Amino acid sequence: MGRNFLVCLAGCLVVSTVWAQRADNRTIIGAGNEFLSAGSFAIRMGQYDEGIRLTHLGLTRYHPSQKDRAAALSNLCAAHAAKGEPDLAIPFCDESLGVTTRNWRAYNNRAYAYFLKGMLSEATFDLDTAAAINPNGKQVIQLRGMINEVGLRPSVIMEDHQ
């Protein structure tokens, strides 16, 4: 995986929460919560540790709306996944999806974390859910290609000769 994808994962997947029946592609940048806004920006810029720190501050110092809370938790998931920390990422996506099950970005972020762990069936399941909500999300399409590439890698079978 190139660094460009990791930056795109965090930058492209942060802060949108879906609340309507169909996918909503708006980016919600912590309206009224400067810590969530700054955290989102830092994550998009690839400054994951600072983005994580600011997002945690935004979640603890303020009482964000449910929409902003779900988006912030999804951002934390994206940042940890982009840092290559899937075991830290997954619980944040789980918590975000506990707030709303219509957040395609949280499903996509968790799919990427599962992908990093080599859990391709779980990644595919979450990616299918993200695609059902937002079939045209470029991150969904990009991650689908990455999962398919792993599944199509040739393998060599060695035999022992006695």
pLDDT tens, residue by residue, 64-86: 999 999 999 999 999 999 999 99
Residue 9 domain-assigned? yes
- Give me the sign of the Cα torsion angle 43, 37, 87, 106: negative
> What is the spatial distance between Cα 161 and Cα 79, in angstroms, rounded to a whole number?
48
CA–CA gap between residue 58 and residue 69 (Å, rounded): 9
Question: In total, how many domains does the chain have?
Answer: 1
CA distances from 4 to 7, 33, 93, 95, 132 (A): 5, 28, 22, 27, 26
For residue 162, being part of any structural domain is answered with no
Cα–Cα distance, 6 to 160 (Å, whole number): 40
Which two three-digit tokens encode residue 144?
């689908």
pLDDT at site 33: 86
Give the closest residue to 37 by CA, choosing from 23, 8, 66, 57: 57
How much of the chain, in percent, has pLDDT values that exceed 90? 69
Residue 112 near residue 83, CB atoms below 8 Å: no
Q: Is residue 158 part of a domain?
A: no
Domain residues for the domain of 66 are 3-150
Domain of 137, CATH number, reads: 1.25.40.10
12-26, 75-89, 130-144: least confidently modelled range:
12-26
pLDDT value, residue 42: 96
Q: Which pLDDT does position 11 carry in this prediction?
A: 44
In a domain, 155, yes or no: no
Helix residue ranges per DSSP H, the chain: 3-13, 34-44, 48-61, 66-82, 86-99, 104-116, 120-133, 138-152
70 found inside a domain:
yes
Q: How far is the C-alpha of 30 from the C-alpha of 109, rounded, in Å?
A: 19
Q: Say if 159 falls within a structural domain.
A: no
63 DSSP 8-state letter: -
**Per the domain annotation, does 161 fall within a domain?**
no
- Over the stretch 27-67, which tens digit does the pLDDT of each residue have? 445 456 899 999 999 999 999 999 999 999 999 998 899 99
d(CA 52, CA 69): 14
| Residue 15, domain member (yes or no) | yes
